[in-house]
Structure 1
Amino acid sequence: MMTSHGIIDYLTHLNESFKATDRLVQQLTVVFDQRNFEAYNALIHQKHSDVSHYLKKSLRTLRKYSDAITNSFIYRYSNGHLEGINNKIKLIKHVSFGYQNFTNFRNCILLCITN
C-alpha cells in the first residue's frame, strides 16, 4: 500500500509540470505558515512557465488581491468568526420561514450562537 508521499513522488516523476506545480504550492504553503511577505511577494511575481495553467490562474488572483493578503500577513485579525455567525443567522431565517415576532427570532439566534 502506497502512502500519500509515495503517490506524490510517483506522479512527480511522470510529469514535469506536476512536479513544478507541487514544488511551488509547497513553497507557498511554507511562506504562508512563516508569514513571510517578502518571500511570498517574490514567489507570486516570478515567471512560472512550467506550472499548470490552473496554478497560473491562482497566481493571477493572488497578485490581484495582494494588498488584502499583505494585511493578513501583518495583522492577525480575521472576520471568520463573524462570517460564521452570519451564516448561522441566514440558516435560521431559511429554516424558520418567518417567526411570529422579532423577539422569538432574536431569542432563537441567541440560543444557537451561545451553544
Structure 2
Amino acid sequence: LPANIAFDDFKSGKFAQSSMSLLVMNIVQHRALDIIRSRTSNSIRNYFLKYDFEARKAVKTVNVDLYSPYRPLIKELFPNAIVIADRFHVVVQAFQALNVVRLHTMKEAGIGSHNWRALKRYWKLLVKDATKLDYQHYFKRINFQNRQLCDQDVVDRLLNMSDELKKAYDYYQTLLQAVHQKDCKVLRKLTESAAGMPEPIKKANRTLNKHQSEIINSFKTSFSNGPVEGTNNKIKVIKRTAYGFRNFENFRLRILVSLKNSYLNLNYHYHIKKAIHSEERIA
C-alpha cells in the first residue's frame, strides 16, 4: 500500500450493493490501485484486510469525501492515517445550500415574475467566486430594463431581493475564501455559529463543523480528490461506450486496463517487455 491513498465511490451497476463501487488511488502518483465491488463497510474491510497490519499501519493519509460511514472504517483499517476531507466536496455543501435558498426565493417570487426570471438567468454569477466577478465591463441586461450593468451590479441587485439569499451568499463566499486561502481562522469563525442563517445553510454548517479537523488537514497538504474525480469521469465513458456491464470482474479489468498509469496496466506492460527481452537474449 502507498503511504497516501484516496478513494471515492461511483455508480457502477447491479453487481454492487446500492449500485456503488469504490475507486482506490495512490494520490501522489495519481495511479489507480484497484476497484472495490461495493462501497459498503464489509466490502471495504474485507478488501483492505488482505494487506497485513504493518502495511496498513504505514498509510499516512487518506483523502475522502464527507461520507460519514467511511470515518470509523478508516480508523479501524489505518490506525496511523490522517483523514483529509476533499476540498471540492466541502465547497459543494455550501454551493448546494445556496442553490436551495435561491430556488426557495424564486418560488416565493412566483413563476414568471421579474425576480424569478432574474434569479433563473443569472444564477451562475451567484455561485461564482466574488473576487472573480467582472466590475469593469458593462452590458445591457434584459432582466433589468436593458440597463448597463457589470456582473457585480447584477449580483448586488439579486441579493437585494431576499435577506435569506444574501446571508446564504455571504456564507458561501466566506467558505470559498477560507478554502482558497487555506485560512483555518476564517473557517473556525464561520462554523462556530450559524444562528440566523437559512435552514439549508445551518444543515451544511453542521456537516462542515463535524468534519472541521479534516478540512483543516486539507489546508496543510496539496492533496485533493481531483485525480479520483477525473478517473471517475473516464469510468463513465467506459460504461457508456460498452452499454453497461453485467460482470464485475470484466468491468474492473476493463477499467484498470484502460487507465494507462494503473498498477495492473504497468505490471502487464512490464511483463510483456520482460518476455520480449528474454526472447531477444535467447535469439
TM-score by length of 1: 0.69
The share of aligned pairs that are identical, in percent, is: 31
> Is structure 2 residue 170 aligned with structure 1 residue 26?
no
Runs of 4 or more, structure 1, over 4 Å off, are none
- Displacement of 1:90 in angstroms is 5.8
| Deviation readout 1:22-77 (Å, 9 max, x if unpaired) | 2222222212211101221111112431x222111111111122222121111111
Separation in structure 2 between the aligned mates of residue 93 and residue 12 of structure 1, nearest angstrom: 42
Q: Tell me, which stretches of 5 or more residues in structure 1 are unaligned?
A: none
Q: Are the structure 2 counterparts of residues 90 and 8 from structure 1 closer, same or farther at C-alpha, using a change threshold of 3 Å?
A: closer
94 and 20 in structure 1: CA distance in 2 versus 1, 3 angstrom threshold? closer
Mapped partners of 2:221, 2:158: distance in 1 = 38
- Which structure 2 residue ranges, 5 or more long, are not aligned? 1-140, 142-148, 263-283
Partner of 1:77: 223
Q: CA 1:109–1:63 in 2, change beyond 3 Å: closer, same or farther?
A: same
Aligned to 2:204: 58
Q: 1:106 to 1:9 in 2, by over 3 A?
A: closer
Greater share of residues in helix: 1
Aligned to 1:38: 185
For residues 259 and 171 of structure 2, what CA distance do their matches in structure 1 show? 44
CA RMSD of aligned residues (A): 3.1
Aligned residue runs from structure 1 range 84-95, under 5 A: 84-89=230-235, 91-92=237-238, 95=241
Distance in 2, matches of 1:25 and 1:106, equals 36
Structure 1 or 2, whichever has the larger Rg, is 2
> Normalising by structure 2, what TM-score?
0.32
The letter for the 2-side match of 1:63 is N
- Give the distance between the partners of 1:56 and 1:48, measured in 2 at CA: 8
Q: Report the count of equivalent residues.
A: 108
Amino acid at match of 2:228: L
Answer yes or no: is the 8 Å Cα contact 2:194–2:205 preserved in 1.
no
In structure 2, the partner of 1:12 is 159
